[in-house]
């Protein structure tokens, strides 16, 4: 495709991620993807690493892991790719084509993750998904089952003034007028759930209490 053809196609797609496609073209997503990537703590060199990206959406982090040398990347998504939101898999598929990517994709709910269904991975990315789930601990148990080594999790947080593990529950559209938001754990709750799910070491990598987000790293 020519740069003009790429630009024309990009503007016909509803994007969330901002993905560099070459020729100075960046997808016009509403997410500040580059800034999020800076705080995730993704290793710079992923040579030989098997990566799973859960809730991949347009695939920005999947493609970035491939660019950093990952041996294999599997992107999974269910909510967006199944057309349950305003977006679809169209952005992922288009970026995949333009980037000539080898990233594999699978339509799958996080609760269906298992070694039998997808295998296991050295690095698992679980970014911006947990607080959209009704059963966060069950989801983390599924995630732990396919993590061989290292998990990077980012999530909305709440109840940050409470020292003990606690989780806010958002019925209806209580959080940001968005009915897909269900829970807001605090940082002790994230740590406790990760350890309960089977991770042996958990660290707070980054957080912003005022903006209500945190990044956790966990290791098997």
pLDDT in the model for residue 178? 87
Q: Give the Cα separation of 61 and 52 in Å (integer).
A: 10
Residues in CB range of 145: below 8 A, 6 or more apart: 113, 114, 115, 198
Phi, psi of 218 (to 5 degrees): -135, 145
Q: Give the Cα separation of 169 and 77 in Å (integer).
A: 23
CA 197 to chain centre: 18
112: confidence class by pLDDT, cuts 50, 70, 90: very high
At CA 150, angle to CA 114 and CA 83, rounded to 5? 50
199: confidence class by pLDDT, cuts 50, 70, 90: very high
Dihedral of the alpha carbons of 76, 80, 84, 87, in degrees to the nearest 10: -160
Mean pLDDT value across residues 170-194: 94
Domain coordinates in residue numbering, the chain = 32-219
Give, in words, the CATH class of 32-219: alpha beta
Q: What is the mean pLDDT of the chain?
A: 97
Residues 22-73 have pLDDT tens digits of 999 999 999 999 999 999 999 999 999 999 999 999 999 999 999 999 999 9
215: confidence class by pLDDT, cuts 50, 70, 90: very high
Mean pLDDT value across residues 121-134: 97
Mean pLDDT value across residues 7-13: 96
Mean pLDDT value across residues 68-80: 98
Please state, for a pLDDT cut of 90, what percent of the chain lies above it. Answer: 95
pTM of the model as a whole: 0.96
Q: Where are the beta strands (DSSP E) in 58-195?
A: 72-77, 104-107, 121-127, 147-156, 167-169, 183-185
DSSP for 6-51 reads HHHHHTTS--SS--EEETTEE---SS-HHHHHHHHT--S--TT-EE
126: confidence class by pLDDT, cuts 50, 70, 90: very high
């Amino acid at each position: 495709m020519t740069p003009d053809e790429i630009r024309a196609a990009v503007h016909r797609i509803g994007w969330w991620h901002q993905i560099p496609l070459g020729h100075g073209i960046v997808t016009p997503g509403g997410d500040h993807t580059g800034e999020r990537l800076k705080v995730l703590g993704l290793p710079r060199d992923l040579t030989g690493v098997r990566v799973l990206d859960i809730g991949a959406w347009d695939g920005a982090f999947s493609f970035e892991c491939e660019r950093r040398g990952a041996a294999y990347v599997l992107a999974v998504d269910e909510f967006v790719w199944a057309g349950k939101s305003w977006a679809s898999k169209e952005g992922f598929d288009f970026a995949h084509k333009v980037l000539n990517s080898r990233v594999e994709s699978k339509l799958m709910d996080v609760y269906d993750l298992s070694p039998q269904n997808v295998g296991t991975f050295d690095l698992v990315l679980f970014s911006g998904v947990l607080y959209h789930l009704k059963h966060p601990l069950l989801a983390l148990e599924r995630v732990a089952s396919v993590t061989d080594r290292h998990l990077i999790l980012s999530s909305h947080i709440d109840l940050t003034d409470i020292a003990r593990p606690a989780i806010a529950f958002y019925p209806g559209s209580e959080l940001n007028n968005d009915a897909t938001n269900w829970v807001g754990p605090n940082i002790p709750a994230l740590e406790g759930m990760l350890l309960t799910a089977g991770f042996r070491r958990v660290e707070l990598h980054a957080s912003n209490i005022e903006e209500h987000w945190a990044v956790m790293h966990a290791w098997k």
